[in-house]
Amino acid sequence: MQIEIKNLYKSFGDLKIYQGLDLSINEGEICVIMGRSGQGKSVLLKHLTGLIQPDSGEILIDGENIVGRRERDLYETRRRFGMIFQNGGMLQSLNVAQNVALPLVEVNGESMNKVAGVVAEKLAMVDMKGREHQAVATLSGGQKKRIAIARALVQGADCFLFDEPTAGLDPPISKTVDEVIMQVNKDTGSTMIVVTHDLVSAFTIADRVHLLHDGRIVDSGTPGEILHSENEVTREFLERGIDVPLPGK
């Protein structure tokens, strides 16, 4: 999936969120969006799926503008996105297999027996093979994130949206989540958009990094380009999260 955001504006009352935001995301890349809290990073994910409509601007999904579409016309677009929430978004009353199969059972009306093979295949892709009957309450935070990725795989998502995928996880578990994200991207060629404050994760997984500040994308580039950026906002943001001097300092 290729995404192009053009001249996006959004306010909630007197609070200005976006002020002419432009962003290009190439098909199949891992795009990381960073920025201070309250900059509208997570809100941007909701714009991509049409859950929030901008005041003005365009959001092009494979060349088609979704801004202004009616709810019923957004259904097929939304099915192309897989959302991985901070807490995984698991239903505690269902086991692992039932959570993964949810899009097929609830949306497509399939039976659990019919989709069992697909569920097992997707669980294996995220290194959760054999966990079908495990209770969600017994899963670790990292395991819940991997189950959420498997659920997005089952629904055939073309684009995965990650909202702080390593939040609340210790470094070794964060590393495994990063590895799963990169492996799924490699295996499927799906576009991945990751909102994160985790700089180690961001510069590990990203093909391109974008910094959101004061309603606009103020800097974009590969991880290496961002680390060597002369943009003052970028350098200040990174210096607050990195314990070593940045290049050129």
E strand or H helix at 220, and its extent? strand 216-221
List pLDDT tens digits, range 15-64.
999 999 999 999 999 999 999 888 899 999 999 999 999 999 999 999 99
* Token digits of residue 234: 């970028």
**Residue 216: predicted pLDDT:** 96
Q: Is-contact 103 155, C-beta < 8 A?
A: yes
**Residue 248: predicted pLDDT:** 47
Nearest to 224 by CA among 245, 207, 236: 207
Q: Is-contact 139 147, C-beta < 8 A?
A: yes
Residue 205: CB atoms within 10 A of its CB come to 25
Domains and CATH numbers, the chain: 28-50+80-239 (3.40.50.300)
Q: Is-contact 163 197, C-beta < 8 A?
A: no
Phi-psi region of 238 (alpha: psi -120 to 50; beta: other; left: phi over 0): alpha
CA pair distance 62, 125, nearest whole angstrom? 27
* 5-38 b/e (C-beta count within 10 Å ≥ 16 → b): beebebeeeeeebbeebebebeebbbbbbbbeee
List pLDDT tens digits, range 92-134.
888 999 999 988 887 777 788 888 999 999 999 998 998 999 9
CA pair distance 227, 217, nearest whole angstrom? 16
* DSSP summary character for residue 68: T
Q: Is-contact 216 196, C-beta < 8 A?
A: no
Q: To the nearest whole percent, how much of the chain has pLDDT over 90?
A: 61
User: How far, CA to CA in Å, does 190 sit from each of 33, 112, 115?
Assistant: 17, 26, 22
Q: To the nearest whole percent, how much of the chain has pLDDT over 70?
A: 96
Q: Is-contact 85 36, C-beta < 8 A?
A: no
Helix (H), strand (E), coil (C) string for 8-47: EEEEECCEEEEEEEEEEECCCCEEEEECCCCCCHHHHHHH
**Residue 88: predicted pLDDT:** 66
List pLDDT tens digits, range 166-205.
888 888 888 989 999 999 999 999 999 999 988 999 999 9
